[in-house]
Homo-oligomer: A and B are copies of this chain.
Amino acid sequence: MAEFELIEILKRRCKPSRADVRLGIGDDAAVVAVAAEHELVICTDTLVAGVHFPLDTDPADIGWKALAVNLSDLAAMGAQPVWALLALTLPSADADFITRFADGFADLAAQYQIDLIGGDTTSGPLTITVTAHGLVPTGQALRRDAARVGDVVFVTGTLGDAAAGLRCLQSNDADRPPIDVACAMLISRLNRPQPRVAAGLALRGLANACIDVSDGLLADLGHIAEASGAGIEIGEDCLPGSTALFERFDADACHALQMTGGDDYELAFTIAESNIEAMQAAMTRAACRVSRIGRVIAEAGVHVLDRNGERKQVHGKGWEHFA
């Protein structure tokens, strides 16, 4: 199959829907119009086979996740996603692979009415880079560096499921179908993360600092703390977890997965006490669970308190490339 046929499959599956796209796939570059009084938010993330997903992952899940991890970054900025570009490096022009990949990618794109406006297909080891674009009203982007001492720290959804799902896949259990219900749920959190777009939009004008939990909670809170010139203290027993997680893993394993697991794509944010009520109402409207997990403090670093309020040493802070 030739390159243009691959692109045709992607184009057929990802139908354009946006009026602000003046010129989509098929020229040297795409041409788009940016809404007045808005700023553009741009991110890019790469998934590498065998590094970011197991080699035998369903191509539809790869397509979904490649877009999802980028939408999660936009969500963390409070941006409304609008356009994506896809740079796809494939070992061979496999029509089955690309069709399934396009299915997963298009399913998520359609959910947020995102147009695929361009990209590149090349031959080489399986690597997927998506560049995603979003819009925020001028000056309203949520940043990492805006946490203030005294802010309360919240997180959306539940933590640790994706890393637990990877453990399920890696354990022998996973090879013996049927995988139990808890495991299936955890694996689906790994393969089909739901970017917190609605939550990110709801946090505009309410939260101070925000980040998505991709490297692991402690690592990502560390980014907020460092960028804001402050510290963060969280309670180990305040961390939200799913029933599936608690069912499959003991308390210590759960805590470790929740704090350092990564790949959760929940939002962690800091907010002034005075905005909490409005935020909770907005999150209810966005059908998004939030949990209060800690506080911004003056002392640098991220500190974990055990159930007795004592500081606790945690080993390993999360995902680190080239470690």
A residues within 8 Å of B by Cβ?
Answer: 1-3, 6, 22-23, 26-34, 36, 39-52, 72-74, 76-77, 79, 83, 85-87, 89-90, 92-93, 117-125, 127, 129, 131, 133-134, 136, 138, 141, 143-145, 210-212, 227, 320-323
Contacts and interface: CB of A to CB of B under 8 A. Distances in A.
Contacts of A227: 26-27
A83 to B, nearest CB: 7
A206 to B, nearest CB: 17
Quick one: copies of this chain in the complex?
A: 2
Nearest to A47: B122
Contacts of A29: 41-43, 73-74, 76-77, 79, 134
Contacts of A321: 2-3, 93, 121-123
B39 A33 contact: yes
B124 A125 contact: yes
B39 A77 contact: no
A89 B1 contact: no
A85 B87 CA distance: 13
Contacts of A49: 124
Contacts of A125: 48, 124-125, 127
Contacts of A32: 39-40, 42
Contact of A136 (B31, B45, B51, B124): B31
Contact of A41 (B31, B40, B133, B138): B31
7 contacts: A6-B322, A28-B76, A28-B212, A30-B41, A30-B42, A32-B40, A33-B39
A57 to B, nearest CB: 15
B41 A77 contact: no
Contacts of A23: 141, 143
Contacts of A119: 44
A45 B227 CA distance: 31
A75 to B, nearest CB: 8
B77 A144 contact: no
A213 to B, nearest CB: 11
A115 to B, nearest CB: 11
Contacts of A212: 28
B85 A124 contact: no
